[in-house]
A and B are shown apart, each in its own frame.
Chain A
Amino acid sequence: MVSFSSLYFLFRFLPVFLVLYFITPSKHREITLLVGSIIFYAVGEPIFILVLVLATLLNHFLAIQSWKVGEGFSLHEWQTRRRKHYMIRAVVLDAALLCTFKLLSSFVDSALLPLGISFYVFKMISFQVDLYRREVWSRPRLRYTTLYFMMFPQVVSGPIMRYHEAEFDLTRSYSAEQFEDGLKYFVLGLGMKVLLADRLAILWNDLQMIGFQSISTPLAWLGAAGYSLQLYFDFWGYSLMASGLMVMLGYNFIENFHHPYASKSISDFYRRWHMTLGSWFRDYVYIPLGGSRCSGIRLVFNLAVVWILTGIWHGNGVNFIIWGAVLGIFIILEKLLYGKLLEKIPFLGHLYVLLIIPLTWVVFAITDLPRLGIYFGRLFPFLGGPGIAVNQNDIVRYAQNYGLYFAAGIVLCIPAVFGFYEKHKKNPFIILLLVVVFWVSVYFLSTSAGNPFMYLKF
C-alpha cells in the first residue's frame, strides 16, 4: 500500500482518492488530501500514526506560540530572543524524537522505526527554522501544517519539500494540462522503478546468493555499476512519482534529482542527488555552522559534521557512517585540493565520479563489514586474493542477462535524453511510449503480486 508501485495503490487507493479529491470543492481539497493521507499512512502504520499525529500537533502548537510572539511590523529584541528560544525548543524536541526512534530501532528492534520518520521530522525542523527566519509568510493554519507534514505523496520518502514551496496561502489553480503533466512524471517514475530498478535488483540479489567470495572481479564491478543504477532509478523513480502526484493535485513540482551521474565532482554529485536532503543539510546544518566563509579548519569541521550526520541519517549501521565519512573526505579534498582541476578537465571529473561513486554505493549497500571487506577484495583482487570457487566466466552470463537494463539505464543517465523528453513530451509517440511503459509495469507488478519471491524465482 505505502508503495506507489503497488497494484493496491495504483488501482485502489489512487483512483478513489483522485475522484474524491476532484469532486471536493476546491477550497476544501486540503481536507480531502489530509484525510486521504491519514488513511494512506494508517494502513501501513496503524500504530505509529499516533507518533506522526502527536508530533504534527506538537509542532503546530509550538509554531503558533512562536508566531504570536512575532506578530507586528518590526520585532523588538526580546521578541526575537523569545522566538529563537521557541525555535530551539521545537528543534530539540523534533531531533530528540528522531534520535529516540533511531536508537530504539538500532538497539532494540528494527521494527521500531516509524515509517518515514526521518523525512517528516526533517520537514518539522525545517518548518520551525523557516518560521523563525520569517520564511513562513502567514500565520500557520492547522489544516496547512498537518497537511504539510502528513501529505501522502511525501510522507514516506520525501522529497523534503519546504513549507513555503507548498504555497498554501495562494489560491491553487487546477487544470487538465497540469494533471496530465503530473501523470506523465508519475508514469515515468513508475517505469524507472518497476522496469529498471526492480530488474537490476535481481542482479544484486544474485551476487549475494552466490556469495561475494565466489564472484569474479569483472562481475564485482558489474554488480557495483548495477547497484548504482538500481539505487538511482529506485529513488529517482520514486521521487518522480511523488512529485508527479503533487503536480496532479495542483502543487509545484519538487525536483529531487538532476542527472547526478553527469556531474564532475563528488560535491557536484551531491548537489544533484537527493537534492532536497542536500539542501536541507546545507540550510539547517552547514550554513548555521558557518558554511564555507570561515577558516580552513572550521570548514573541514563543518563538512565533517554534515557528512557524518548524512551517514547516520541514512541507516543504522557502521557502514553508513563509513559511507558518509568517505564522502565527506572526498568533498573536503575537493574543496581544499583538486576541485578546480576537476572543473577544468571535464573528462577527468566524469571519470573520477563514475569510479568513486559506485565504490561508495558498495559501502552503502553492504551492512555487514566482513562481507563488505570480501566485496572490496573481489573488486581489487590484489588486495583480497583469489576468492573461493570463483567462476571466471560468470560475467558473460550476467552481461547477457542484464545488458539491456544497463543500456537503458545508462541512456537515461544522459541529461540530453531527459531534455529531449521534456521538449517533446506532447508528441504522440512519447505518449504512446508512456502508455506502454505503464502497462508493462503493471504486467510486472501483476505477475509478482502477492509473491515477493517472484522475481527471485529459484
Chain B
Amino acid sequence: MKFIRKCPLFVILLSTGLLFTIIAAGGKQTIYAQQEYSPFKEPLLSVMFTALNDDIYPWQILSIESIPVSDFTTEPDIQEAAGDLELSAPEDESPQPEDVPPAQVPSLDESALADSDGGQQEDQQDSGNEISEADGADIPKGRLEPLRESTREEYLNHISADIYGDAGVIRAAMYEFSQVDESYFDDALFIGDSRTVGLRDYTNLSEHADFYCETSLTIYKVMEENFKGLGTIPDALAAKDYGKIYIMVGINELGRGTTENYMEKYTEVIDTLRELEPEAKIIIQAVMRVSGKKDSEDAIFNNSNINARNNAVATLADNEHIFYIDVNEVICDEDGNLNADYTFDQIHLLGSCDELWKEFLLAHGV
C-alpha cells in the first residue's frame, strides 16, 4: 500500500499495461488475428492499439466468438470481416525470394497455375498475346481474366503479382482520346487520395469539377468514406448527375492483400458507380508511380507493385463506359519512375507540377 502511495503513476502504468497485455493475448486468435505483430520489436499489447485503427475495440472480445485466421487467397473476404487493415509494412523490409527454399518456388507456381481453370486459362493467355501483337483485330470486349494466381510467397512478401499482363492497358490505349477544354470538367467528379488532393488544391480544376478526395483514402473505403463537409460518394451521385467520374486510388493499399483482393474490391466499386450513375463515363486513372529513389528503397511502395495493380484495373476498361488513362506518361522519366524533379517526398507531385496532370487530363477527354 505504501508503495502504491509513493509511486502511483508507476503502479497504474504497470497494471494498465498488464491489463492491455491480457486483453491482447485473449484476442490474439480472434479479434486481433489480423494485426501484424513481431514479438522482438513490439509488445503484445500494441495489437490492441493497431486494431483501434481498424475499428476493432477491446470490448468486442466479449461479443465475437472467433474469426478464423485468413488463409490468404482462399478466403479473400476475411479481411473485410476483420475490418479494414491499414497499410502495414512486412516484418522484413526487403522481399527476399532467395530465402524461400528453392524447391518450393516452382512447385508453388505450378500448383498455382494448375489450380486455375485450365481450359479458360489458355484462352486468356491467347487473348493477352493477341492484343499485345496489337493488330486489334480480335479484341475481346468483355472483362479480361487473370493469367495466373498470386503465389503465397508474393502475398507474404507484399509483392503485388502482375497477374493480368498488359492486355488491359493495351486495349484501353486503343481508344482515341480527344483534347477538351476546362468546361468539359463541369460535370466531372474526382475521387482520390492525397495525390488528388494536390490536383484539387494546386490547379484550377476545382472551379469546374467536384472533388471527393481525402488523404489515405483506399478502394476499401471509397464508398463509405464521409468526406469532410461533403458526405459520401453515393450521396454525391444522388444529388447531382455527373457525366464523368475520375478515380485514382491504390497506393495506400499496396501493403494490403493481393492483386486479386484489390481487383475484386475495385471491380465492385466500379460496378457500383456504374449502377448509381449509369450515364456517367468512368475514367480509371492509373496510380501515379513513385520516384526511382523510392522505388529502389521500398519493398511495398514501389513501381513494380504499382504497375501490377494498374495492369489489373486497366482490364476493367471497355472503352465505352469505362476508360483507363495513365498520367505516368507525362510525369515519369525514361526509366518509368516519377520524375525526381517533380517531387520532393518521392511520392507526391509538387504543387507546381500538378498542372502537368491537369494538361494530361485535358488531352484525354472521352
Residues of A near any B CB (own CB < 8 A): 7-8, 10-12, 175-177, 179-180, 183-184, 187, 205, 208-211, 213-215, 388-391, 394, 397, 428, 431-432, 434-435, 438-439, 442-443, 445-447, 449-451, 453-454, 456-458
In the complex, the chain A residue whose C-beta lies closest to that of B342 is A211
11 further interface pairs, Cβ-Cβ under 8 Å (given A12-B41, A180-B7) = A7-B42, A7-B43, A183-B10, A211-B344, A388-B352, A389-B352, A391-B351, A442-B45, A453-B301, A457-B215, A458-B195
Q: A438, B203: Cβ atoms under 8 Å? A: no
Partner of A450, one of B38, B45, B47, B352: B38
What are 11 inter-chain pairs, A to B, with CB distance below 8 A? A11-B45, A209-B345, A210-B201, A211-B352, A213-B350, A391-B202, A397-B201, A446-B42, A447-B52, A449-B42, A458-B193
A11–B351 contact, CB under 8 A?
Answer: no
CB of B52 within 8 A of CB of A391, answer no
Chain A residues lying within 8 Å of B3, measured Cβ to Cβ, are: 176
> Which one, B83-91, B174-182, B219-227, B312-320, is touching chain A?
B83-91
Knowing A210-B351, A446-B50, the reply to whether A176 touches B7 (Cβ < 8 A) is yes
Interface centre among A11, A183, A457 (most CB of B within 10 A): A457
B348 sits at the interface (CB 8 A): yes
Cα–Cα, bound, A191→B12 (Å): 17
When the two chains form their complex, are residues A180 and B202 in contact, meaning their CB atoms are under 8 A apart? Answer: no
Q: Which residues of B lie under 8 Å from residue A446 when comparing CB positions? A: 42, 46-47, 49-50
Residues of chain B in range 246-271 having any CB-CB distance to chain A below 8 Å: 251-252, 255
The reply to whether A214 and B350 contact each other, CB–CB distance below 8 Å, is yes
Q: Residues on B close to A: CB < 8 A? A: 3, 6-10, 12-13, 16, 20, 36, 38, 40-43, 45-47, 49-50, 52-53, 86-89, 91, 193-195, 198, 201-203, 215-216, 251-252, 255, 301, 344-345, 347-348, 350-355
Determine the chain B residues whose CB is within 8 A of the CB of A451 once the complex forms: 87-89, 255
- List of B residues within 8 angstroms of A183 by Cβ: 7, 9-10, 13
B351/A389 in contact, CB under 8 A = yes
Chain B residues near A180 (CB-CB < 8 A):
6-10
Given A447-B49, A450-B89, A391 and B201 touching (CB < 8 A)? yes
A458–B202 CB distance below 8 A = no
CA distance A179 to B13 in the complex (A): 13
Residues on A with C-beta less than 8 A from B7 are 176-177, 179-180, 183
Task: Say yes or no: B193 contacts A394, CB within 8 Å.
Answer: no
A435-B252 in contact given A7-B41, A449-B46 (Cβ < 8 Å):
no
Question: How far is it, in angstroms, between the C-alpha of A421 and the C-alpha of B170 when the chains are bound?
Answer: 66
CA A457 – CA B88 in complex, angstroms? 11
Query: Quick check: B194 and A208 within 8 Å, CB to CB?
Result: no
Expressed in whole angstroms, the minimum distance between the Cβ of B174 and any Cβ of chain A is 31
Q: A458 to B215, Cβ gap below 8 A?
A: yes
Please state if B347 and A458 are interface contacts (CB–CB under 8 Å).
Answer: yes
Lowest 8 CB-CB distances: which A-B pairs, in order?
A214-B351, A180-B7, A211-B350, A457-B216, A11-B43, A446-B49, A446-B46, A176-B6
C-alpha spacing A394/B351, complex, angstroms: 11
Complex Cα gap A1–B282 (Å): 48
**B351 close to A211 (CB less than 8 A):** yes
Query: By the criterion CB–CB under 8 Å, are A389 and B203 in contact?
Result: yes
How far is it, in angstroms, between the C-alpha of A195 and the C-alpha of B30 when the chains are bound? 30
Chain B residues with CB under 8 A of A209: 344-345, 347-348, 350
B203: chain A residues at CB < 8 Å are 389
A374 vs B161: C-alpha distance when bound (angstroms): 42
Set of chain A residues within 8 Å of B350, measured between Cβ atoms: 209-211, 213-214
**Distance (Å) between the CB of A160 and the closest chain B CB?**
28
B298 to chain A, nearest CB (A): 8
Chain A: CB-nearest residue to B53:
A447
Q: Is the CB of B46 within 8 A of A442?
A: yes
The residue on A at minimum CB distance from B12 is A435
Q: Give Cα A164–Cα B185 distance, bound, in whole angstroms.
A: 72
Whether A438 lies near B53 (C-beta < 8 A) is no
Closest A residue, CB atoms, query B200: A391
- Nearest residue (CB) in A for B249 is A458
Residues of B within 8 A of A458 (CB): 193-195, 215-216, 251-252, 347-348
Shortest C-beta distance, B142 to chain A (Å), equals 32
Chain A residues whose C-beta falls within 8 Å of the C-beta of B53 in the assembled complex: 447
A329 CB, min distance to chain B CBs, angstroms: 30
A210, A391, A434, most chain B CB atoms within 10 A:
A210
Query: What A residues does B215 contact at CB under 8 A?
Result: 457-458
**A441 CB to nearest B CB, Å:** 10
Are B352 and A214 in touch, CB under 8 angstroms? yes
**Please, which residue of chain B has its CB at the minimum distance from the CB of A1?**
B41
**Complexed CA–CA distance, A457 and B40 (Å):** 25
Q: State whether A208 touches B345 (Cβ < 8 A).
A: yes
Cross-chain contact A443 with B193 (CB below 8 angstroms)? no
Least Cβ–Cβ distance between A308 and chain B, in angstroms: 30
A156-B45 Cα distance, complex, nearest whole Å? 28
Closest to B251 in A: A458
- Min CB gap A194→B, angstroms: 12
Q: Which residue of A lies closest to B346 (CB)?
A: A209
Nearest CB in chain B: distance from A343 CB, A = 40
Contact B9 A457 (CB under 8 A): no
| Interchain CA distance A122-B16 in the complex, whole Å | 40
